Structure 1
């Protein structure tokens, strides 16, 4: 359990949350682990099989404390709150901001490009001597071009369309050297470019699966703070697409998804035998490989990093929820700008 931004996150399955006087009490196997006064709480987010007493639900609803229930993988299940809520005002602010989203889009693009560049620079540090001279030069050239794109985005007054163009240019550069980061002995595990719906090679199949997991987390994060996951800023609105969740994941996926994919491949936890080719050449993870990825995904989310804006450590798995909260605070006027998340 971790308290961040006046929100309690409970991730230990089997935990019991109950009311004791004017306090929330968390117990694990009958032992009290935490006690937090209600007046210090804004919301409670629980993951998985956690018992929440009816008395606590009533106290939270009566005190304006939102209770969010997610499954163990972070998928949104329910949101419990009392009759007085600012969600209508928050969503109105979100819809209004979507008509002139330049500054939010700028922050998202800056976060994404900076994190893509950080992934490449980390590879140079970790495998510098093992890279071929030509590969190293290619990666270094892309990091320089990404740095120029960052400066351009930060200093310009570009329109949303131009910002989207800069994001697309950075993604093309980043993936142009992605194969240089792969160190698998299997020739089938090489990178030949992005393919989706369906993925046509093992690396794309792995990335698509991880992006799906991250999208679910980001959608849950949006819903947990009362934002409409369908109305985004960087991604255009489209029926059935969680545009805001896709916005939120852009700055996170180079670190949470791409680096995890590279780790699984480079550590040889996944080989070509862990993938299946189906009709029309579509490639998917086998059942056992999917379990391997899910286990690694859950472990990855436990890693703690210093949050650059909050200046305190938080598990990577909570980052989408923290970013959604800060976006909501920006839309409400509590923050002058939406602060992107930078990986260091």
Structure 2
């Protein structure tokens, strides 16, 4: 089984990353503040004004360490990867599958079915753990609607129909997301999903965490030899990692949504950790970002029983396991892609 490596997040503005032997060095104002062996690092994510030496970028490319650059507040800018990995025949098969309407709809249905099922589990677990604090009728109705959408997935045949069901199910799920915020209700009010820019604190947390997952999923797809840009559920668009977005769908409720709810309900973040920018966007403070990154890493270390491979693995390995299963299905080693259903 693949070993779960750490991701190095660098958010202090003006930091400089360089190579020193077989290590990665982080400097601030010419002072060395951190030095890590390269074999312990699986990826680097730099926020804002963080510089990397060309030699370090080349070193990371050689060692299959993905480097992503984001704005200070988490909007993706660019990534640096090494030479394309994997068998070229796998990617050519991926492209042929993406052009086949039947295979595309089957894969899209798997991604969406797992996403809806996992969203439903998020609601059910909240009902189980906090029933006395909730409007149970609203959440139970949402659970029933999501179950109906799951049944509809089995009856549709085109990718456009599947996209329509995904959109409708997401609307139901986010219409009750505010009810999942048990504590700090007055400070964290969620009305609807807003992305560019996020217009409230909960949306700011969701968008930032989704960006972190996108980095990890994209790196996993590259590792197994798939092209992150050519997906099935998400249409091709220049600069958009369609396959990474596909694979994210089933993992967002399990990893990101529950993490965001925990940070709020456990009061690890409060209203004072956010500010509103001139364009109306709500952004996190530096300290809040550090808390989220720490908890995200902790979340990746916690373990889960995988229903398909029947092994207990760290959550952080889900990205690689699902990418590998997708590659195996494209190669024809297994019959269809088995998405991750949370239990």
Q: 1:69 aligns with which of 65, 85, 93?
A: 65
Equivalent residue number for residue 138 of structure 1: 138
Q: 1:47 aligns with which of 42, 45, 50?
A: 42
Preserved CA contact (<8 Å) 2:4 2:314: no
Find the residue that maps to 1:301 and give its secondary structure.
Answer: helix
Find the residue that maps to 1:128 and give its secondary structure.
Answer: helix
Preserved CA contact (<8 Å) 1:45 1:67: no
Shift, 1:114, TM fit = 0.4
Shift, 1:76, TM fit = 7.3
1:117–1:228 distance in 2 versus 1, CA, 3 Å:
same
Equivalent residue number for residue 123 of structure 1: 126
Preserved CA contact (<8 Å) 1:200 1:282: yes
Task: Specify the structure having the higher radius of gyration (Cα).
Answer: 1
Preserved CA contact (<8 Å) 1:264 1:270: yes
Number of equivalent positions? 288
Find the residue that maps to 1:110 and give its secondary structure.
Answer: helix
CA RMSD of aligned residues (A): 2.6
Shift, 1:188, TM fit = 3.2
Alignment of 1:322-337 (within 5 A): 322-337=321-336
The TM-score normalised by the length of structure 2 is: 0.78
The TM-score normalised by the length of structure 1 is: 0.78
Find the residue that maps to 1:314 and give its secondary structure.
Answer: strand
Equivalent residue number for residue 284 of structure 1: 283
Which consecutive residues of structure 2, in runs of 5 or more, have no partner in the other structure?
9-21, 23-38, 45-61, 70-77
In the alignment, the residues of structure 2 paired with residue 80 and residue 193 of structure 1 have an alpha-carbon distance, to the nearest angstrom, of 40
Shift, 1:280, TM fit = 1.8
Equivalent residue number for residue 256 of structure 2: 257
Shift, 1:279, TM fit = 1.0
In the alignment, the residues of structure 1 paired with residue 224 and residue 79 of structure 2 have an alpha-carbon distance, to the nearest angstrom, of 11
In the alignment, the residues of structure 2 paired with residue 202 and residue 184 of structure 1 have an alpha-carbon distance, to the nearest angstrom, of 14
Preserved CA contact (<8 Å) 1:142 1:173: yes
Find the residue that maps to 2:304 and give its secondary structure.
Answer: strand
Find out whether 1:93 has 2:88 as its counterpart: no
Preserved CA contact (<8 Å) 2:68 2:79: no
